[in-house]
Amino acid sequence: MSSLRRPVLAANWKMHKGPGATRSYVREFRRRYEPRSDRTVVFFPPAISIPAFRDEAGDRDDLELGVQDVHQEREGAHTGAVSAPMAADAGVGWGLAGHSERRREFGDGDELVAEKLRRLVEEGLRPVLCVGETLEERRDRRLEQVLARQVEAGLAGLEPERRARVLYAYEPVWAIGTGETAEPEDAESAHSFIRSVVRRVVPGDDGDAPILYGGSVKPHNAEALLATPEVGGVLVGSASLEPESFAAICRAADRSG
Ligand code: PGA
């Protein structure tokens, strides 16, 4: 199985868990989830908790780390911001760009998302470009228009030959934190559409770039989502905050594929 063909199980903790809570989580998670070479497990803790995570994970290098957001510049007078080089220095291998909460709460528009994505790639981090429609856009039948725009605009700052490094997360905004999950068929058709856009704008794309699904993924629905052919993994928010719940989601990849 090529590394990109492995399911990716990603935990986005958002603004939860400082260093102390991170340590107890990792201690517990290590006990509940054994390393598995057939899948990739990656955590996006708050930046301030990354060193504690790494320290507590110790020899568990199967537990990979990502940063939830980076500034588009490498360094400078940007109070409160975290840069991609700092994240890389802290041992992080992944980064999110374009999460809908960043787009909505912090005004990260398509152009800024593209700059951040480019910065992640330049610093050698693996970027996950998050895209997804609001309920209103879905009702107005603008799903495809929105997804195409977000993918194309997100990649616009990257030279075509570097675009193959990008992973995607389809996160319908109406499903995030609401308990509403897209049906596997809806995820399947949105993912297929994203795939068609990626094929068009990423030269030589051989269909390998995983597209994760995110939005109210829970232990009880993870298996069906992960068994959906176009779903290459899951990006999990609230259900990743409890070690057992996220361990169960990671194990759900056993029965998929
Ligand atoms: P949720 O969040 O699982 O709590 O819906 C998902 C996300 O925002 O990545």
Q: 195, 184, 187: which is closest to 151 by C-alpha?
A: 195
What are 104-161's pLDDT values in tens digits?
999 999 999 999 999 999 999 999 999 999 999 999 999 999 999 999 999 999 998 8
Work out which ligand 1 atom sits closest to the CA atom of 12: 9
Tell me, in angstroms, the distance from the centre of ligand 1 to residue 9's CA: 13
Tell me, in angstroms, the distance from the centre of ligand 1 to residue 161's CA: 31
pLDDT at 208: 79
Q: What confidence tier does 90 reach under pLDDT thresholds 50, 70, 90? A: very high
pLDDT at 58: 96
Lowest mean pLDDT among 15-24, 173-182, 233-242: 173-182
| pLDDT of 1 strictly over 90 | no
Catalytic residue (one of 99, 115, 133, 191):
99
Q: How far is the C-alpha of 230 from the C-alpha of 78, rounded, in Å?
A: 39
Q: 121, 136, 146, 134: which is closest to 215 by C-alpha?
A: 134
| pLDDT of 165 strictly over 90 | yes
Residue type, position 19, single letter: P
Kindly report the average pLDDT of the chain as a whole number.
94
Task: Find the mean pLDDT for residues 158-179.
Answer: 92
Task: Find the mean pLDDT for residues 210-221.
Answer: 95
Q: Ligand 1: which residue has its CA nearest to atom 9?
A: 237
Q: Return the sign of the alpha-carbon dihedral for residues 136, 141, 142, 144.
A: positive
pLDDT at 242: 98
pLDDT at 3: 52
Pocket of ligand 1 (CB under 6 A): 12, 171, 176-177, 214-217, 235-239
| pLDDT of 256 strictly over 70 | no
Work out which ligand 1 atom sits closest to the CA atom of 235: 9
9, 134, 235, 245: residue to mutate for ligand 1 pocket, most atoms within 8 A of CB: 235
Q: Using DSSP, state whether 233 is helix, strand or coil.
A: strand
pLDDT at 257: 47
| pLDDT of 22 strictly over 80 | yes
| Active site (annotated) includes residue 75 | no
What are 178-212's pLDDT values in tens digits?
888 888 999 999 999 999 999 999 988 777 789 99
| Active site (annotated) includes residue 111 | no
Contact 254, 234 (CB under 8 A): no
